[in-house]
Amino acid sequence: MSRFSEELHRAMHESPNGLVTGEPDAPTFRRWSEVFATAQRWAAGLARHGVGHGDSVAILVAQPADVAPLIQAVWLRGAVFTMLHQPTPRTDLETWVGDTIEVLDMLDARFVVVGTPFEPVESLLTDRGLTVLDTAVLADDSAAEPIPTQVEQVPVAEDDLAILQLTSGSTGTPKAVAVSHRNLYRNHLAMVAASAGTSADVTVSWLPLFHDMGMVGFLIEPMICGGTAVCMTPMDFLTAPLLWPELITKYRGTMTAAPNFAYSVLARRLRSAPDGAYDLSSLRFVLNGAEPIDMATIDLLLEAGGRFGLRPEAMVAAYGMAEATLAVSFSPLDQPLAAEHVDVERLEVDRLAVPVDGPGTRAFVPLGSPLPGLEARVVDRTRSVVPHRQIGEIEIRGEAVTRRYLTPAGYQPAVDTDDWFPTGDLGYLTDAGEVVISGRKKDLIIIAGRNLSPADIEKAAGRVAGVRNGGTAAVPLQNDGGREDFAVIVESDQVDDEADCLRIRSEVSQSVLDRMGATPGSVLVVAKGTLPKTPSGKIRRTAARELVESR
């Protein structure tokens, strides 16, 4: 039996804690032992549908109350699960079905388990010849007969797969990170050590469970630690952002996490909340990850949250990815976050991060040293290791790091012969060995020999009145003379006002010039929701560039 399975089963039987779901309308608490009992019944149902060791099960379920026992049921059968990317109210369902079929073909999934709120798409899937199993049917079928003894646990080895995690770019070009039981266990040990996690922790999360941060960090980790997991859905957060601090207050949450944009939303809402509305003093681990971290956003959050007891030293900056199972590095515990400022000219021309004071600097938030069991290095274009503070590509190595991807062509290696994984992220290591990310290798914009970060350009564009928060993208282009150029796309609610669009384009150009010393070749103003993004909210830059070129 894998060490991950042993540790998980121990926690399921021994922990008095459990899973809280259904807030705010119908809050429900289920002890982990109850979740596991449901998982055993559902595993019996999966067995009767032919699921066995090594089989692939695709899941299209949003409610954590169903997802928690379902993934355990899959593991009890020695199988591997994949959380499918979930359609939203704006999704073109025909396109989604086509993309999903490509993913299912790649996974060779026995069937798709569908649950609330996705029952309406069942017919779209069955009409395309797919086998669909509804969670309600699975629950009824599982209760029809006694649990066969052999269903309690199909033996699994350390290198058997537990999760096939779809990558952010999987729609259109399917690819899944192959996460083994060994990967999960090593990631668990590393995160517990770095976060000082215990069964006394109460995690509060709205993160999507089809994303590694939501699934691994805020469902699987509380399970295996035997802590308390308070889970809502992304739609709950988007509909009522203040439900987040409300649940932290109600359940005395100690750990939470979100990407940078969500903390910006939270800061704005907390600023207008009355004194005493929330109590955030119980939080000891407030993780910011999954997208570039803006220190100005952190400062706004700390200012707004300070009235409600949020401590600066609770903030944690993180670097992670599905290929590392989840976490690569955390900033030090119980220390307020602080940015370091480096010389812009040395950064853009010499690819060196030289700390300086005064004007002409760019701020970075160090993301901490690699977690126990992980190594990080920075390499140049020839993959030679470079000194600290030299910009290059981050590579990582360790037992939490995947060894392979699943693609339509089959399994492909993810690491080299020495087990180093090239992340595609550009950055450097500080003198203390902390990881700093400066951008994505494939997204870099080079103008007149200078390496410009899309994130910096986007931040400058986002300062203009009328530009939606988080609704900016900078993409490289070539102008008519074949020279390198770039464009900026901004979302605005004033897209139908021609005069206002003219102002926004002018002010975006000026703001980018003032900050970056370069003027975009074009600025495109589009409606809310037009920017092409991955299911996890990252800009799909190839599609964004095509959007500019098509106008």
According to the model, what pLDDT value does residue 161 have? 98
CA pair distance 509, 457, nearest whole angstrom: 10
pLDDT of residue 170: 37
| CB-CB neighbours of 375 under 10 Å | 12
Task: Give the range with max mean pLDDT: 38-42, 167-171, 456-460.
Answer: 38-42
The three-class DSSP label of residue 24 is coil
Does the N-terminal peptide bond of residue 422 adopt cis geometry, omega within 30 degrees of 0? no
Structure tokens that stand for 363 in this block: 């701020």
3-class secondary structure per residue, 26-81: CCEEEEHHHHHHHHHHHHHHHHHCCCCCCCEEEEECCCHHHHHHHHHHHHHCCCEE
Mind listing the pLDDT tens digit for each residue in 390-403? 999 999 999 999 99
Average pLDDT, the chain: 90
Instruction: Identify the CA nearest to 132 among candidates 140, 148, 121.
Output: 121
DSSP 531: S
**One fold for 3-16+24-182 and 240-442:** yes
Average pLDDT on 93-115 reads: 89
How many other CB atoms are found less than 10 A from the CB of residue 311? 16
**Concatenated DSSP letters of 284-302:** -EEEE-SSPPPHHHHHHHH
pLDDT band per the 50, 70, 90 thresholds, residue 210: very high
* pLDDT confidence band for 127 (50 / 70 / 90): confident
**β-strand partners of 57:** 81
In this prediction, what percent of the chain has a pLDDT beyond 70? 94
Whether the per-residue pLDDT at 90 is higher than 90: the answer is no
CB 463 within 8 A of CB 455: no
pLDDT attached to residue 150: 45
**Separation of alpha carbons 125 and 549, rounded Å:** 34
State the pLDDT at residue 143. 56
pLDDT tens-digit series, residues 312-365: 999 999 999 999 999 999 999 999 999 999 998 898 889 999 999 888 888 999
The class (CATH top level) of 240-442 is alpha beta
Bridge partners of 421, per DSSP, are 396
Q: Which two tokens stand for residue 346?
A: 């040395």
**CA dist., res. 125 & res. 142, Å (int):** 23
What pLDDT, on the 0 to 100 scale, is given for residue 167?
Answer: 85
Distance of CA 319 to the CA centre of its chain: 10
Q: What confidence score (pLDDT) does residue 546 get?
A: 80
* Residue 493, CA distances (Å) to 266, 305, 534 in order: 21, 28, 22
Confidence band (pLDDT; 50, 70, 90) for 196?
Answer: very high
pLDDT, average across residues 450-462: 82
Q: What does the pLDDT read at residue 141?
A: 60
- Write a three-state SS string for 351-398: CECCECCCCCEEEECCCCCECCCEEEEEECCCCCECCCCECEEEEEEE
Place of tokens 């649950």: 115
**Poorest-confidence range of 88-102, 379-393, 426-440?**
88-102
pLDDT (0 to 100) of residue 216: 97
Closest CA relative to residue 35, chosen from 255, 233, 222, 256: 222
What confidence score (pLDDT) does residue 325 get? 97
Of 135-149, 289-303, 533-547, the one with minimum mean pLDDT is: 135-149
462 secondary structure, DSSP code: H
What integer is the mean pLDDT of 247-274? 95
Q: What is the pLDDT of residues 476-518, one digit of tens each?
A: 886 655 567 889 999 999 888 888 999 999 999 999 988 787 8
Neighbours of 97 (CB within 10 A): 18
pLDDT in the model for residue 459: 85
Task: Indicate if the pLDDT at residue 171 is higher than 50.
Answer: no
Query: What span, in angstroms and rounded, lies between the C-alpha atoms of 316 and 285?
Result: 6
Measured in degrees and rounded to the nearest 5, phi and psi for residue 192 equal -60, -45
Residue keyed to tokens 């939501």: 214
Cβ burial, residue 149 (10 Å; 0-12/13-18/19+)? exposed
Provide the Cα torsion 404, 409, 410, 416; round to 10°. -30
**Residue 236 pLDDT exceeds 90:** yes
d(CA 330, CA 459) in angstroms, rounded, equals: 24
Is residue 68 very low, low, confident or very high in pLDDT (cuts 50, 70, 90)?
A: very high
Q: Measured in Å, how far apart are the chain's first and last C-alpha atoms? A: 57
Instruction: Give the residues across from 319 on adjacent strands.
Output: 329
Q: What dotted CATH number matches 3-16+24-182?
A: 3.40.50.12780
pLDDT band at 92 (very low <50, low <70, confident <90, very high): confident
pTM of the model as a whole: 0.84
* Residue 24 preceded by cis peptide, ω within 30: yes
The second-level CATH assignment, the architecture, of 444-550 is 2-Layer Sandwich (3.30)
C-alpha torsion 522→523→525→526, nearest 10: 60
**HEC-encoded secondary structure of 221-276:** HHHHHCCEEEECCHHHHHHCCCHHHHHHHHHCCCEEEECHHHHHHHHHHHHCCCCC
| pLDDT at res. 169 | 47
3-state DSSP assignment of residue 548: helix
Domain ranges, ordered by start, for the chain? 3-16+24-182, 240-442, 444-550
How far apart are alpha carbons 536 and 259 in whole angstroms?
A: 10
What's the pLDDT band for 535 if we cut at 50, 70, 90?
low
What are the b/e assignments for 192-213, b being 16+ CB within 10 Å? bebbebeeebbbbbbbbbbbbb
What's the confidence (pLDDT) of residue 149? 43
Determine the pLDDT at residue 117. 86
Tell me the mean pLDDT in the region 58-70.
Answer: 96
Q: How far apart are CA 64 and CA 522, in angstroms?
A: 44
